[in-house]
Amino acid sequence: MTLDRRTFLHLGGASFVPWLIPGVELWAMNEDSSDKSAIGARLQDRILILVELQGGNDGLNTVVPFRNERYKQLRPKIGLKPKNIIELESHLGINSALAPLTEAWEDGDACWILGLGYPKPNRSHFRSIEIWETGSDSDEEIADGWLARMLKDHSDPHRAADGIVIGGGDTGPLFGNDLRVLNMDDPEDFSKQARTVPEVAQGKDARKALEHLIEVQKDIKKAAGIIDDKIKSGPNHGVRFPDTRFGRRCSVAADLVASGVPCPVIKLSIGGFDTHSDQLNKHSRLLAELSGGLSALRQALKATGIWERSLISTYSEFGRRARENGSQGTDHGTAAPHLVMGGAVQGGFAGRYPDLGKLDKDDLIHTTDYRRLYATIEQKWFELPPREDVARGAKPLEILKTVAKSPNSTSGK
Amino acid sequence: MILLLPGSDKPRTTTWLSCAAFIFYAVFAVAPAFSSSFADDSPKNETKKADPKTQRLGIDGARHLLDRTVFGGSPDALNEFAQKTRTEAVDHLLSTLQVEAVTPLPSWSQQSPAEVRKLRNQDRAAFGKRLRQWQNELRIWWTRELLSSPSPLTERLVLLWHGHFTSEMQKVRSPHAMLQQNILFRTHAAGDYSKLLHAVALDPAMILYLDTQKSKKGSPNENFARELFELFGLGEGHYTEKDIKEAASAFTGYRINPDTGKARLILRQHDSRRKTVLGRSGNFKAPDIVNSVLSKKASSEWIAQKFWKEFVSPTPDEKVVSKWATQFRKSKLSIRSLLETVLLSEAFWSQEYRGALIKSPVDLVIGSLRRLDMSEVPAGLALRSISRLGQNLFDPPNVAGWPGGTNWIDATTLLNRRRFISEQLPTGMIHLIRSQNAKSENPPKNPANPDADEESMNPDGVMNPDGMMNPDGVMNPKKDASLPDDTTPDITTPDITMADDAMQKERPQRLRNREMRRLRPQASARLEQLFQHFRQLFMSDTDAWLKWWLPFKPVTDAEHEDTGFGRLKGVLLDPTFQLK
């Protein structure tokens, strides 16, 4: 099913109050981006779907500089052959396992940000994902997640939750600051669990510890109530999701988003990217699972008119060593490209591919600070007044169609 | 009901007010009063006039003491303690303190640093995998000790020190060093605090964790000095930035000896100039700085305050803490003596602080298993449950340790806590029955590869869809909460067989669906038996039975289910069971 942007506006307009009409044109009308109610509306209106590629995705075999001789030298055994590459522009192609995303690319809905990373890269899974999820520098420890800081002044009791983590995985970037984060395999199971949570009225003399427990129980029941209601009355997107672990997670995400469950962030994960050996098979299987799920998710969000208000972004702890290892795999590396998709995305490539001729001990040198992605999400997607501690001064990327209008309308006021 | 009707000679308004008051009373008198302590039933003056030498603890008091000191007591322990006076009970607990673990150390712990280096240099990739496996075995080892130790009080203190003098295996990496640190905590758990602090300062894991290893003359690293003052020894406000700088230079040049794995001072990397730290000057080395910290009054107060938060409530009463600290100094910083002071204090027993603490994941999981006589479950299961609730042993979230308290409970962890009780406890019982059955039968066909069983890859329709099916305990301190993707061999699937038979036992086999179904009724029956056993201990006294489990009367209708485990579960699922 394909619909053009006008059609979405039309479809969406029927079921939403005017200021919630999806569509980039209207966003520019937000006169003051720091206005509280406008912020609240945007956080209610726009959805961020984060996809964690667990284990460290190999960027070089995801977005492939296939004409580069150095690529062939670095990857004599596991370098992709032309038949396994979909050429996107003259020098860059993508792994053919990502074929399901071709439509999004052609519609200009997909942007690859190249060379994301940070200085003094850490190659430990645990530490590096912590850096990515907290937004810290390499040698600095921050306790809370970058999204937890972004959202901490914008709580809203009407939300079902501040974030929903689907299918396991930790709360990652949503950790800390008393954010209300739910973890669920699927909404039905969550409701079932929540139903077993007993109702407890609050007693005046309840102690702080008990009071907190009872508050959280209430939160769970409230969230389950909202989710139940929304899902029951939600539209049917009619899209069949791939029967893979990640496909099922995407299907749950589609149900939640399409039915309008009020929650600004959804986090999904797909594991297994730690491809130290036999990479070609494993990696293409993973990318196929990833792209199959994301493509179905895109179709479902398009069918229900929410694609314009959705932003999908991948992230991972690191890319992999540019030079392949002795077991037809790759070891822990550094910078990598990441995919951002959505109806408001300016399709194409952003940033610069790391120079294969200039490696640091066989590792790529990052070209774009990963926090520019966060700045984009904070300032361009949710149009929040920038907090110093979210993107740490990194500049937003020009990858969204609203980019030109929004800052002007803000500063023009 | 006649009373409720208006119509007496009193003015209408008054009548309605009194009606409202009556309704209020009627509702709240009938409904369980919130956080009303069980002790309300006993003489009101218990806490004021009780003579600790003669007053028996009773079930409520015994539960309180055992919950806070030994992860809760078994039925027998509880009955025994109920008959003791405070002094007797505390004396008895202190007499159990140990300085060594009873669980045999992992086999690799005997390796010398040279042997480890050799393994590393032979094949780095294989070594990385081995390292992860050892780290996991270390976690399993301690979990086993937590489950089975005859002195859970010792383990409670080891955990306290681990959360206070933190090191993260994630950074330290060496399971050997982390094990040594755990042993250090046990050796000094209730010993001489000054010995403990001195040992911590030169502990290899600590040297690696807080970068002493990198600190040298000319470019001192301040990491350890700062935390020694701020988090470990004194607390904020008792030192200056200059003290940190000066102290840092005293810690320069300490290196781990590659032959012995112990710390030593390399003089040419040590800044031997005269330093002034905390008001004293001299040509200080590491032990001198530790002594300076110990000489401060704030040092004993800091630890006394730590004990208040650990054993009494989240908000210390400064007056009491200061008294404890004085006592602590008088005892020449004997931790055992401080513990005794705390456990015999009025504050510890005060009704005001009953149920004021939220159980940590270790409290909840280890405590529930110990209480239900299920400590023989594979430790890997317990470890995984603990980790799902947000506590990764050997990997506290940062140098400040686990923040604890209300931080333990959010929507996700609360639902996971409930799942632990309603799903993982029964699954644990199935494992228990299974391993007991297996003792008389043949060992499993292919113990080295639990994944070989194809049917097990398809765990739908079993009682626990998410947790216990994974047999591997925890490999990854951050990602373990999720069911591992089976395509993630490096992180979640151990591909090296555990050599040690005892260790192998701790890594539960993946259960076949068929077997799960077959054993389920047996597990239910066993839990029912347990329930009946517990109830018999308390005869028909429902209150006493609830007191064994909960610090308050339940806030939910805890006993509404009919079957034994249902009723037991109802009690365990009451929010008050999360408190101690």
Which of A287, A273, A281 lies closest to A96, judged by CA? A287
Give me the residue spans of the domains in chain B: 192-295, 299-353, 361-578
Evaluate whether B72 touches B367 at the Cβ level (below 8 Å).
Answer: yes
| Number of residues in chain B | 580
**Residue A233 neighbours by CB under 8 Å, 6+ apart:** A259
Q: How far apart are CA B549 and CA B368, in angstroms?
A: 10
Q: What is the pLDDT of residue A85?
A: 97
Torsion angle, alpha carbons of A83, A86, A88, A94, to 10: -110
Q: How far apart are CA B159 and CA B143, in angstroms?
A: 11
| Tens-place pLDDT, residues A102-134 | 999 999 999 999 999 999 999 888 889 999 999
Buried b (16+ CB within 10 A) or exposed e, A144-165: bbbbbbbbbebeeeebbbbbbb
Q: What is the pLDDT of residue A75?
A: 97
Tell me what percent of the residues of chain A surpass a pLDDT of 70.
87
Nearest C-alpha of chain A: how many angstroms from B401?
11
Which of A371, A331, A333 lies closest to A351, judged by CA? A371
| Tens-place pLDDT, residues A186-212 | 888 888 888 888 777 554 444 788 888
Q: Do A272 and B481 touch (CB under 8 A)?
A: no
Which of B568, B577, B558 lies closest to B529, judged by CA? B568
Q: Do A210 and B575 touch (CB under 8 A)?
A: yes
Which of A272, A260, A234 lies closest to A160, judged by CA? A260
Quote the number of domains for chain A: 1
Confidence tier at A33 by pLDDT (50, 70, 90): low
**Nearest chain A residue to B478, by CA:** A126
Number of Cβ within a 10 Å radius of residue A108: 13
Which of A194, A198, A220, A218 lies closest to B32, judged by CA? A198
| Tens-place pLDDT, residues A347-397 | 999 999 999 999 999 999 999 999 999 999 999 999 999 999 999 999 999
Q: How far apart are CA B188 and CA B201, in angstroms?
A: 14
Q: B-chain residues within 8 Å CB-CB of A129?
A: 478
Q: How far apart are CA B350 and CA A364, in angstroms?
A: 62
Q: Do B412 and A282 touch (CB under 8 A)?
A: no
Evaluate whether B557 touches B71 at the Cβ level (below 8 Å).
Answer: no
Cα B156 to chain center, whole Å?
A: 6
Where is pLDDT greater, at B78 or A317? A317
**Residue A101 neighbours by CB under 8 Å, 6+ apart:** A94, A110, A291, A294, A295, A339, A341
Count Cα atoms within 13 angstroms, Cβ side, for B253.
17
Q: What is the pLDDT of residue A26?
A: 42
CB pairs under 8 A between A and B: 157
Q: What is the pLDDT of residue B561?
A: 59
Which of B181, B173, B163 lies closest to B134, judged by CA? B173
Q: What is the pLDDT of residue B190?
A: 98
Number of Cβ within a 10 Å radius of residue B578: 26
Q: What is the pLDDT of residue B564?
A: 64
Distances (CA, A) of B437 to B170, B432, B531, B575: 38, 9, 22, 35
Q: How far apart are CA A184 and CA B206, in angstroms?
A: 38
Question: Running DSSP on this structure, what letter comes out for residue B504?
Answer: H
Q: How far apart are CA B535 and CA B520, in angstroms?
A: 22
Structure tokens that stand for B79 in this block: 């009955």
User: Mean pLDDT for chain A?
Assistant: 87
Q: A-chain residues within 8 Å CB-CB of B32?
A: none
Q: What is the pLDDT of residue B569?
A: 84
Task: Map residue B532 onto helix, strand or coil.
Answer: helix
- A interface test, pick of B412, B475, B574, B578 with most A CB neighbours within 10 Å: B412
Q: Do B479 and A169 touch (CB under 8 A)?
A: yes
Nearest C-alpha of chain A: how many angstroms from B99?
33
Q: How far apart are CA A129 and CA B2, in angstroms?
A: 69
Structure tokens that stand for B56 in this block: 């028996």
Q: B-chain residues within 8 Å CB-CB of A271?
A: 479, 482, 484-485, 487-488, 491-492
Q: How far apart are CA B70 and CA B366, in angstroms?
A: 10
pLDDT lower than 50: segments of chain B: 1-35, 40-47, 444-499
Distances (CA, A) of B97 to B281, B365, B549: 39, 22, 25
Backbone angles phi, psi at A399, to 5 degrees: -120, 5
| Alpha helices per DSSP H over B36-123 | 46-49, 58-70, 75-82, 86-95, 113-122
Distances (CA, A) of B423 to A23, B64, B420, B532, B562: 46, 26, 6, 20, 18
Q: What domain range includes position A376?
A: 5-411
**Nearest chain B residue to A52, by CA:** B479
| Alpha helices per DSSP H over B372-462 | 379-388, 411-419, 425-440
Domain CATH number, residue A314: 3.40.720
In this complex, the residue of A126, A180, A208 whose CB is nearest that of residue B478 is A126
| Tens-place pLDDT, residues B433-452 | 988 887 766 554 444 443 33
In this complex, the residue of A127, A168, A273 whose CB is nearest that of residue B481 is A168
Q: What is the pLDDT of residue B509?
A: 67
Evaluate whether B369 touches B355 at the Cβ level (below 8 Å).
Answer: no
Q: What is the pLDDT of residue B487?
A: 31
